[in-house]
Amino acid sequence: MHEQFLLFGATGDLAAGQVFPALANLLRDRLLPANFRVHAVAKHPFETQEAFRDWLLERVHARAGDAVDMDALHELLQRTDYTSVDLSKPEALGAALKLEPGARLLSYLAVPPDLFVPIAQGLKAAGLLEDPARLLLEKPIGRDLASARAINAAIAACVPESRVFRLDHYLGKATVQNLLALRFGNTLLEAVWSRRWIERVDILVAETAGVDGREQYYSRYGALRDMVQNHMLQLLCLVAMEPPSALDADTVRDQKLMVLRALRPFSAQSAPDESVRGVYQAGVVGAQAVGGFSQIEGQSVETFVALRAHIDNWRWAGVPFNLVTGKRLATRSTQIVVTFKPVSHWLFEKPRRSQAAPNRLLVRLQPEENIELHLMSSLAGPEWGAMELQSLPLNLSMAPTRRRRIAYERLFLDALNGRHALFVRDDEVEAAWQWIDSIADAWRVADFAPQPYVAGSWGPRTAAPFLPPPMARAAAASPRASA
């Protein structure tokens, strides 16, 4: 296991909100090597090591609250040193860092993607990417296919793919891994996992939080590039991929790649029917008044996107995959809903066939993590005379653990141990961008601008058919935004 963790972007939101809390939790659980050390790097010049530690403690506390063990965080900070580096001068990296080449070092680039290549080149020049060093890249890898290819090629010139780890924190969520267990560990589910039995698949990532504080980045990316290209397509791949013959990294990643390559590209003709873009206006979220999104510069981006994706292969022909994500929506809810087709012949009086709820597999990732299978079941007691069916949830979740792990915990352990299965390969990233580019191009050609929606609603009303049924009903009744 590698024992040195070199963190670029140490003063960013991600470091305080996820990286340090995750490492502190791993340290508390004694899952890190005894000589584990963090070398934190960012531009800001702190006067002393103590000044950095004090500043970070306060930030972590404000951002992560109860999700972090403060005693363990104190211990982690005793193992952390800070270096201020001007990342626009990567040639100065080696001298600034004073690390030994050949060390068991994991360098984690939690910085914007335009810094990946200069940092990797600086590390290489300093000998810090020599075997066995590893490189961990935060999402997004580029902003489109061309920039992703350029990044992947430049990174490949510095370090082989076998030592590169591209992080998508959704792959570290426990329920996502449980989805694989359910799909491939059970005859029952695998037998019905196709167009023959499945009517539609919904993938929803609804957030109540706004873009606050990240306008600079978000104004260049929007929801399509920030959420769909990575997290949502990874979920879609895990739902739709063919059963791999083994669970090793490349076998699984080959199957995910096949799904990405089978996604039907969007066109300017199809985009108006198959997608909705929205941008939030002022409104009320959770009883609090909030402002609208302020675009910093350039073309206006979406804070909400709904897409109907089609996977053109034998298993999924004709099954819509509805992908919806947005900021400042009515509730925080991340879920995958697999809706099965109705039974072929309905025997019961109550409810009527048209009122019968279809079988559903509901995989919830936020706010709680659980999996439910909704099946029709009889409510009848002997005194009722008639049989009445009702949809009942069967809880398939694991026994509750002592505490919920931060997704980054699992991913850091895997990267430190050199396990690739939960990381994204270069060709997967590029295939995902290729599909995303088709959507962005279609929107541009069709002049398809984001429609306003009121913060605290379910997005533009036109998005209702893309949402899972309970949200769709709420969306249809949501207040209309002013144009």
Residue positions annotated with a catalytic role = 231
Q: Smallest gap, in angstroms, from Cβ of residue 168 to ligand BG6?
A: 8
Residue 439 is classified by DSSP as H
Q: Does 208 bind ligand BG6 (CB under 6 A)?
A: no
Nearer to ligand BG6, 334 or 359 (CB): 334
Nearer to ligand BG6, 255 or 366 (CB): 366
Nearer to ligand BG6, 207 or 302 (CB): 207
What are φ and ψ of residue 469, in 5° steps? -45, -50
Q: Smallest gap, in angstroms, from Cβ of residue 327 to ligand BG6?
A: 7
**Contacts by 238-244 with C-beta closer than 8 Å and gap 24+?**
238/176, 238/179, 238/180, 238/183, 239/179, 239/183, 239/201, 239/203, 239/321, 239/336, 239/338, 240/201, 240/311, 240/315, 240/316, 240/321, 242/315, 243/183, 243/184, 243/190, 244/184
Q: Give residue number: closest CB to ligand BG6.
A: 226
Token pair belonging to 52: 């950095």
Whether the Cβ atoms of residue 175 and residue 364 lie closer than 8 Å to each other = yes
Nearer to ligand BG6, 207 or 409 (CB): 207
Nearer to ligand BG6, 73 or 235 (CB): 235
Task: Tell how far CA 321 is from the center of its chain.
Answer: 17
Q: Does 409 bind ligand BG6 (CB under 6 A)?
A: no
Separation between Cα atoms, residue 191 and residue 238, nearest integer Å: 16
Taking CA atoms, 64 is separated from 25, 244, 367, in Å, by 12, 37, 15
Cross-strand pairs, 350:
388
**By CB neighbour count within 10 A (0-12 exposed, 13-18 middle, 19+ buried), where does 103 fall?**
middle
Separation between Cα atoms, residue 246 and residue 250, nearest integer Å: 9
Reduced to 3 states, what is the DSSP secondary structure of residue 198?
Answer: strand
Report the 10 Å Cβ neighbour count for 153. Answer: 11
Q: Smallest gap, in angstroms, from Cβ of residue 9 to ligand BG6?
A: 13
Report the 10 Å Cβ neighbour count for 4. Answer: 20
Q: Smallest gap, in angstroms, from Cβ of residue 282 to ligand BG6?
A: 20
Q: Smallest gap, in angstroms, from Cβ of residue 482 to ligand BG6?
A: 26
Q: Smallest gap, in angstroms, from Cβ of residue 193 to ligand BG6?
A: 25
Reduced to 3 states, what is the DSSP secondary structure of residue 337?
Answer: strand
Q: Smallest gap, in angstroms, from Cβ of residue 75 to ligand BG6?
A: 26
Separation between Cα atoms, residue 362 and residue 81, nearest integer Å: 44
Total chain residues near ligand BG6 (CB under 6 A): 4
Side chain identity, residue 420: H
Whether the Cβ atoms of residue 435 and residue 307 lie closer than 8 Å to each other = no
Quick note: the x/- pattern for ligand BG6 over 153-192, rule CB under 6 A, is ----------------------------------------
Residues 339-368 that bind ligand BG6 (CB under 6 A): 366
Sign of CA dihedral 167, 171, 174, 178: negative
Q: Smallest gap, in angstroms, from Cβ of residue 207 to ligand BG6?
A: 6
Separation between Cα atoms, residue 475 and residue 108, nearest integer Å: 40
Exactly one of 226, 274, 428, 430 binds ligand BG6 (CB under 6 A); which one? 226
Nearer to ligand BG6, 326 or 460 (CB): 326
Nearer to ligand BG6, 322 or 334 (CB): 334
Quick note: the x/- pattern for ligand BG6 over 107-136, rule CB under 6 A, is ------------------------------
Q: Smallest gap, in angstroms, from Cβ of residue 336 to ligand BG6?
A: 13
Q: Does 334 bind ligand BG6 (CB under 6 A)?
A: yes
Nearer to ligand BG6, 334 or 451 (CB): 334
Separation between Cα atoms, residue 39 and residue 10, nearest integer Å: 9
Taking CA atoms, 281 is separated from 8, 46, 212, 296, 313, in Å, by 34, 38, 13, 15, 39
Nearer to ligand BG6, 37 or 225 (CB): 225
Block residue for tokens 């995958």: 336
Whether the Cβ atoms of residue 392 and residue 378 lie closer than 8 Å to each other = no
Nearer to ligand BG6, 112 or 418 (CB): 112
Contacts of 430 (CB under 8 A, 6+ apart): 145, 148, 149, 152
Q: Does 207 bind ligand BG6 (CB under 6 A)?
A: yes
Q: Smallest gap, in angstroms, from Cβ of residue 258 to ligand BG6?
A: 25
User: Which residues here bind ligand BG6, judged by CB under 6 A?
Assistant: 207, 226, 334, 366
